[in-house]
């Protein structure tokens, strides 16, 4: 990674704990350090409950972090008051997973797209705002005849386009894409992925792409972060991760993808045993230890730190301590 | 395929959903057959008619709206379309069992897992099993799906998603069905759990010799588990063949090609995906000719007017005008 | 999809101004309401009833319907007394017409005030949650454990019976439903992704409540208001029946019903007319309410 560049978004030991009982804390995001450079895409993968969605929302301060810093162009936005934060929201946007739930059923398409611009008064008149909203519909490939339709009249792919147009309406620099294609059929999914990549090229957007789908994340990301129970287990470039996965969990994840190729049919899938344990009051040691086939005594005692084992390749595993 | 081995034979099956306002053409002239012990993958996108086909096999179509307009389903020598409901009930669950997509909603939250498996056994208790025998069978099925029998006294909410899906599978397998229909059995699960469940299904199928229809939108799952593959689009089977035909050959229906091109490739970095343009046609108003014609990049004049015939080559059949021509040439 | 494009469409073409002529939400709702036969019948009936209430003095043949004429006792229907007379010789039609004023005023006022009171409390409890929520909900539990009728009796007994007191008493008896309804509605909506989306765009809490939460809970609230109007008319009749409503000579549907009961065998029609008035009112309000709910939900549009 280049030395001089300033990351657009950087998190420093970001934590988000939820209180779930008298003495119980759910460690949803537990000390995440990551850097995202302008124009790049970072993919965040993990299974349900690993805290990847919470991480995305915490970076946007839709959920207030418990501790840690979020630097935007080097400036800590966790210290911003409500007024500055409202302004900041125009730079940091989100595209939601569920195109059904993220659109108000009682608002028409154009009203939904115009909403952010009305809130932030980005343009002087309502007419300008609606003009721009209509223009955004062209940008995301929504026919203008749907402007006065309601979300329920449209299919999933079109709804997702509305969500994308809404996010773009305030000219953001950074967009968290929270599983934007996982509710869509493959052919529609490919259309939306292409759209997102085109928009990135045209508008120089920076994405954080949260998903559980490894093939999608590989396709769209420059760097990938593998999360497990709120922590980052491995972080490296997308190609490197798929060629040389180092963490046992990453290896298992990759081997678990069913591939559309019958030559792989009799390949031995490295099935990891057990299921994700509860993120409530986690035990010391490596979070993955309980399911890991290489687990040693040490893994239960002491948590491995995220270390750079090769240039740009970070792994949190005791196995990778030595030279590889 | 010799006739003797066929356990399921669907001929020209059409199903519609009729309401006062409109008629949805969900399944249009499907012809399929399944050999004993084989696994058929039914692939297609939302609204392709996969689930309707499965519900028709189970005779679980919504009574007021769903109607079979033509065709026959022969299951073990009997046409189950005309079977009286009382007789169908004996087949359902006992001979044909179904696993639904969502393990959260297909279990009853107020009954223990053991009770739910026992219930399935009690309903089909022709052999007259005693209470102890049923309990023993419950333990046996739970062990089969990898759940310790001691957990049978727990309620569904005490199980995780993957475990719940195992319970659902245990219920389906408890009566040792001849045919198992799995409707997106792993869609709601995480990849690592999906791998566990798929391995288990594959293993059980081989051990018990159950025939299976695997409904999914994931070509990867089909490639890893199925012997035969049927690709559905707008209620029709547009391509049918062995797994080798679909995954290893180059000759395909343009829709199947489109599906493959839509998938991000794990091995090579492609700059852009080549998705199929447009959307699935409105099932109340299907195109007159080939149903895929409006989205097809290789659409010809004839495609817009005349529904294509099925072109067959060995085990591989394709419903497309492109291949009809190449045969004549 | 967009089959009935009666709604004008945003005109396009680059560089040109876009004609954003979307009919206002109210117009749209009225348009859909007009297509609903039941709602239109309800509306028509309700307008008739309101007209009767406004022009009671002109419609009623006998002033206020409180004049007692001994020889007219239980008089049958006749040109002078279209609906006959009651056991005190009072003209039934006049009493019905004037009674409409008292009955409807109290019922409508009480349902509106109970709705406003209950919805505010419910919205506060649901949106802010935590201790505020707990405080409101536990107070509500105590409130609800006292039977409505007993509670109303206490209030009326303490403050003596008059129209404002009746409204207060009935508000207190009926607001609890709204609190629970709106609270659960708000709790559901706060977790919706579109509310989160609004926050991501910089919306304030007030804006979220006004532009997303209220429109989305309005449907259930409205149905309840209309259901409550009718049940309040009936509830007030109950109160009159046990003598807790307006003092004796004042005409009012419930008290008419209860006094007619005595002579039910001799003059059965005396029971029928006030009962019919109550049923008709309840019926029309319900029809309209159902229609409004459907008209306000774009998802139910045909």
Q: Does C15 fall in a domain?
A: no
Task: Please state whether beta strands B23-35 and B6-18 pair in parallel, antiparallel, or not at all (unpaired).
Answer: antiparallel
In 3D space, the residue among A192, A244, B132 whose CA is nearest the CA of residue B140 turns out to be B132
- Under 8 Å between Cβ of B219 and B200: no
Confidence category of residue C65, pLDDT binned at 50, 70, 90: low
Q: Compute the average pLDDT of residues A252-261.
A: 85
- CB contacts < 8 A, A to B, total 121
CA–CA distance, A105 with A107 (Å, rounded to integer): 6
Q: What percent of chain C has pLDDT over 70?
A: 82
pLDDT bracket for residue C22 (50, 70, 90): low
Is the CB of A82 inside 8 Å of chain B's CB atoms? no
- A65 versus C66: the higher-pLDDT residue is A65
Q: Say if the Cβ atoms of B220 and A260 lie within 8 Å.
A: yes
Residue B110 falls inside a structural domain: no
- pLDDT for C78 beyond 50: yes
Mean pLDDT of A75-86: 91
Give the closest of C20, C198, C199 to A130, CB-based: C20
Q: Using CB atoms, which residue from B190, B196, B275 is nearest to A190?
A: B275
Q: In this predicted model, what pLDDT tens digit does every residue of B3-14 receive, in sequence order?
A: 446 889 999 999
Domain assignment of residue B112, yes or no: no
Please write the tens of the pLDDT for every residue from B90-149. 888 888 999 888 777 888 889 999 999 998 888 887 778 888 889 999 998 898 888 888
The answer for C17, left when phi > 0, alpha when psi is -120 to 50, beta otherwise, is: beta
DSSP B304: H
Q: What is the pLDDT of residue A68?
A: 93
Domain of B276 in residue numbering reads as: 3-95+177-328
pLDDT at C34: 85
Would B149 be classed as within a structural domain?
no
Vertex B25, ends B183 and C3: CA angle to 5°? 115
C18 Cα to chain A: minimum distance (Å): 6
User: pLDDT for A2-46, tens place per residue?
Assistant: 456 889 999 999 999 998 878 888 999 999 999 999 999 999 998
Q: Which pLDDT does position B232 carry in this prediction?
A: 94
Contacts of B among chains (3+ CB pairs under 8 A) = A
Q: How far apart are CA C91 and CA C71, in angstroms?
A: 12
The answer to whether position C9 is within a domain reads no
Closest CA to B180 of B148, B207, B149: B207
Q: pLDDT (tens digit, 9 = 90+) per residue, C217-236?
A: 887 888 788 778 878 877 88
Apex CA C224: angle with CA C218 and CA C230, to 5°?
140
CA distance, residue B253 to nearest chain A CA (Å): 15
Nearest to A89 among C7, C202, C298 (CB): C202
Neighbouring CB atoms inside 10 A of B250's CB total: 5
CATH number of the domain that residue C46 is part of? 1.10.3720.10
Asked if residues B26 and B17 have their Cβ atoms less than 8 Å apart, the reply is: yes
**Which residue in C18, C20, C201 is closest to A119 by CB distance?**
C201
Rounded mean pLDDT of C40-59?
86
Q: Retrieve residue B297's tokens.
A: 């990049």
Touching subunits of C (3+ CB pairs, under 8 Å) are A
Among A90, A96, A170, beta carbon nearest to C197: A96
Q: What is the pLDDT of residue A209?
A: 95
H helix count then E strand count, chain B: 11, 12
Whether residue A219 and residue B270 make contact (CB cut-off 8 A), yes or no, is: yes
Q: Average pLDDT in the C166-189 region?
A: 87
Contact C9 A60 (CB under 8 A): no
Residue A214 pLDDT: 87
Q: Which domain holds residue C176?
A: 37-65+82-300
H-type alpha helices, A169-227: 186-203, 214-220
- Is it the case that residue B274 has pLDDT exceeding 70? yes
* pLDDT over 90 at A174, yes or no: yes
**Tokens 């690709």 identify what position?**
B231
Residue B107 in domain: no
DSSP lists the bridge partners of residue B39 as: B212
Measured distance CA(C302)–CA(C297) in Å, rounded:
11
pLDDT per position as a tens digit, C118-168: 988 888 888 888 888 999 999 999 888 888 888 888 888 888 878 888 888
**Residue A86 pLDDT exceeds 70:** yes
Burial (CB count <10 Å: 0-12, 13-18, 19+), residue B89: middle
Q: Which of B152, A255, C33, B60 is nearest to B68 (CA)?
A: B60
The domain ranges of chain A are 9-91+210-320
Give, in order, the Cα–Cα distances in Å from B282 to each of A25, B15, B22. Answer: 49, 15, 11
pLDDT digits (tens, 9 = 90+) for A267-324: 666 677 777 778 888 888 888 888 888 888 888 888 898 989 989 899 999 888 765 4
List the CATH number of the domain containing B206.
Answer: 3.40.50.300
pLDDT band, residue B314 (cuts 50/70/90):
confident
- Residue A143 at interface with chain B, using a CB cutoff of 8 Å: no
- What pLDDT is stored for residue B270 in this prediction? 67
Number of domains in chain C: 1
Give the pLDDT score at C248: 65
Which one has a higher pLDDT value, B293 or C25?
B293
Sign of CA dihedral A30, A33, A37, A38: positive
Asked if A155 has any chain B CB less than 8 Å from its own CB, the reply is yes
Cβ-based neighbours of A22, under 8 Å, separated by 6 or more: none
Distance from CA of A255 to the nearest CA of C (A): 33
A171: nearest CA partner in chain C? C201
Q: What average pLDDT does this structure show over B148-166?
A: 87
**Residue A166 reports pLDDT greater than 90:** yes
Rounded Cα distance, C99 and C93, in Å: 10
Which residues are within 8 A (CB) of B187 and not within 5 positions of it... i.e. 6 or more apart?
B101, B216, B217, B218
d(CA A294, nearest CA chain C) in Å: 40
Domain tally for chain B? 1
ipTM of the complex: 0.82
Average pLDDT in the A159-179 region? 94
* pLDDT exceeds cutoff 90 at A237: yes
Helix boundaries (H) for chain B: 50-58, 85-91, 113-123, 131-144, 161-173, 191-208, 219-225, 243-247, 254-262, 301-305, 321-328
Average pLDDT over chain C, rounded to an integer:
78
**Cβ–Cβ < 8 Å for A142, A135:** no
**CATH superfamily, domain at A9-91+210-320:** P-loop containing nucleotide triphosphate hydrolases (3.40.50.300)
| C71 belongs to a structural domain | no
- pLDDT at C70 (0 to 100): 64
User: Residue A204's CB: how many other CB atoms inside 10 A?
Assistant: 10
Section C238-247 average pLDDT: 74
More confident: B161 or A235: A235
Which of A250, A194, C99, C177 lies closest to B270, judged by CA?
A194
**What strands lie across the sheet with A9-19, from one edge to the other?**
A25-36, A9-19, A67-72, A75-76
- Judged against a pLDDT cut of 90, whether residue A94 lies above it is answered with yes
């Amino acid at each position: 990674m280049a030395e001089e560049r300033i990351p657009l978004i950087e998190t420093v030991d970001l934590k988000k704990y939820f209180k779930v009982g008298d003495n119980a804390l759910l460690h949803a995001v537990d000390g995440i350090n990551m850097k995202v450079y302008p124009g790049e895409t970072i993919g965040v993968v993990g299974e349900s409950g690993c805290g990847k969605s919470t991480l995305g929302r915490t970076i946007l301060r839709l959920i207030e972090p418990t501790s840690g810093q979020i630097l935007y162009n080097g400036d800590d936005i966790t210290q911003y008051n409500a007024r500055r934060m409202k302004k900041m929201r125009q730079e940091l946007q989100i595209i939601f997973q569920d195109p059904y739930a993220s659109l108000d059923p009682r608002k028409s398409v154009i009203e939904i797209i115009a909403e952010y611009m009305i809130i932030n008064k980005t343009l002087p008149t309502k007419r300008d705002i609606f003009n721009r909203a209509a223009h955004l519909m062209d940008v995301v490939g929504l026919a203008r005849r749907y402007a006065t339709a309601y979300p329920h009249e449209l299919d999933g792919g079109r709804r997702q386009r509305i969500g994308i147009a809404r996010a773009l309406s305030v000219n953001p620099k950074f967009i968290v894409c929270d599983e934007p294609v996982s509710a869509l059929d493959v052919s529609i999914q490919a259309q939306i992925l292409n759209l997102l990549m085109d928009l990135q090229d045209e508008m120089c957007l920076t994405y954080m792409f949260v998903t559980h789908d490894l093939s999608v994340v590989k396709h769209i990301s420059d760097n990938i972060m593998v999360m497990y129970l709120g922590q980052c287990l491995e972080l490296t470039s997308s190609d490197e991760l798929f060629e040389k996965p180092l963490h046992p969990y990453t290896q298992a994840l990759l081997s678990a993808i069913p591939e559309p190729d019958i030559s792989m049919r009799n390949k031995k899938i490295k099935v990891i045993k057990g299921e994700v344990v509860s993120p409530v009051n986690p035990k010391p040691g490596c979070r993955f230890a309980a399911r890991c086939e290489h687990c040693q005594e040490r893994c239960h005692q002491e948590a491995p730190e995220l270390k750079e084992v090769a240039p740009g390749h970070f792994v949190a595993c005791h196995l990778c301590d030595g030279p590889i | 395929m010799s006739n003797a081995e066929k356990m399921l034979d669907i001929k020209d099956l059409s199903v519609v959903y009729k309401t006062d306002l409109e008629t949805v053409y969900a399944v249009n002239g499907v012809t399929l057959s399944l050999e004993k012990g084989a696994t058929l993958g039914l692939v297609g996108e939302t609204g392709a008619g996969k689930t309707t086909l499965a519900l028709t096999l189970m005779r679980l179509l919504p009574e007021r709206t769903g109607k079979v307009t033509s065709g026959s389903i022969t299951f073990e020598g009997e046409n189950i379309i005309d079977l009286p409901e009382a007789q169908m009930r004996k087949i359902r669950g006992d001979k044909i069992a179904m696993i639904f997509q969502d393990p959260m909603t297909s279990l009853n939250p107020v009954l223990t897992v053991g009770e739910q498996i026992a219930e399935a056994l009690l309903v089909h208790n022709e052999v007259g099993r005693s209470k102890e025998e049923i309990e023993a069978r419950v333990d046996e099925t739970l062990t089969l799906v990898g759940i310790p029998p001691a957990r049978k006294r727990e309620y569904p909410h005490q199980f995780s998603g993957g475990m719940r899906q195992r319970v659902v599978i245990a219920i389906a397998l408890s009566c040792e069905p001849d045919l198992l229909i799995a409707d997106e059995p792993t869609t709601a699960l995480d990849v690592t759990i999906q791998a566990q469940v798929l391995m288990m299904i594959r293993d059980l199928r081989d051990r018990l010799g159950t025939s299976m229809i695997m409904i999914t939108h994931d070509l990867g799952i089909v490639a890893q588990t199925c012997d035969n593959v049927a690709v559905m689009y707008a209620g029709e089977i547009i391509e049918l063949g062995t797994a080798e035909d679909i995954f290893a050959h180059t000759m395909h229906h343009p829709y199947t090609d489109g599906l493959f091109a839509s998938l991000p490739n794990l091995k090579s970095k492609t700059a852009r995906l080549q998705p199929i343009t447009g959307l699935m046609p409105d099932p109340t108003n299907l195109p007159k000719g080939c149903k895929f014609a409006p989205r097809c990049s290789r659409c010809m004049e004839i495609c817009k007017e005349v529904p294509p015939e099925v072109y067959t080559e060995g085990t591989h059949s394709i419903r497309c005008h492109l291949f009809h021509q190449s045969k004549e040439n | 999809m967009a089959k009935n494009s009666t709604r004008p469409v945003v005109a396009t073409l680059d560089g040109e101004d876009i004609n954003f002529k979307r009919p206002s939400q109210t117009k749209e709702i009225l348009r859909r309401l007009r297509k609903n036969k039941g709602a239109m019948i309800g509306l028509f009936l309700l307008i008739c009833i309101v007209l009767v209430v406004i022009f009671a003095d002109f419609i009623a043949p006998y002033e206020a319907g409180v004049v007692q004429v001994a020889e007219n006792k239980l008089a049958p229907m006749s040109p002078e007394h279209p609906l006959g007379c009651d056991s005190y010789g009072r003209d039934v039609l006049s009493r019905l017409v004037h009674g409409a004023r008292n009955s409807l005023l109290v019922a409508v006022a009480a349902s509106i005030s109970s709705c406003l009171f209950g919805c505010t409390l419910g919205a506060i409890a649901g949106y802010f949650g935590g201790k505020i929520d707990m405080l409101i909900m536990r107070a509500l539990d105590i409130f609800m454990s006292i039977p409505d009728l007993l509670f109303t009796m206490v209030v009326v007994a303490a403050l003596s019976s008059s129209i404002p007191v009746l409204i207060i008493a009935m508000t207190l008896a009926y607001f609890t439903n709204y609190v629970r309804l709106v609270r659960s509605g708000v709790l559901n909506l706060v977790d919706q992704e579109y509310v989160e989306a609004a926050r991501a765009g910089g919306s304030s809490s007030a804006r979220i409540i006004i532009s997303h939460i209220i429109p989305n809970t309005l449907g259930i609230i409205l149905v309840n208001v209309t259901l409550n109007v009718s049940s309040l008319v009936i509830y007030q009749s109950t109160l009159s029946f046990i003598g807790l409503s307006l003092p004796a000579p004042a005409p009012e549907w419930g008290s008419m019903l209860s006094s007619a009961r005595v002579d039910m065998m001799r003059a059965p029609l005396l029971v029928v007319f006030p009962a019919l008035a109550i049923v008709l009112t309840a019926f029309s309000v319900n029809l309209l309410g159902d229609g409004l709910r459907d008209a306000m939900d774009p998802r139910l549009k045909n």
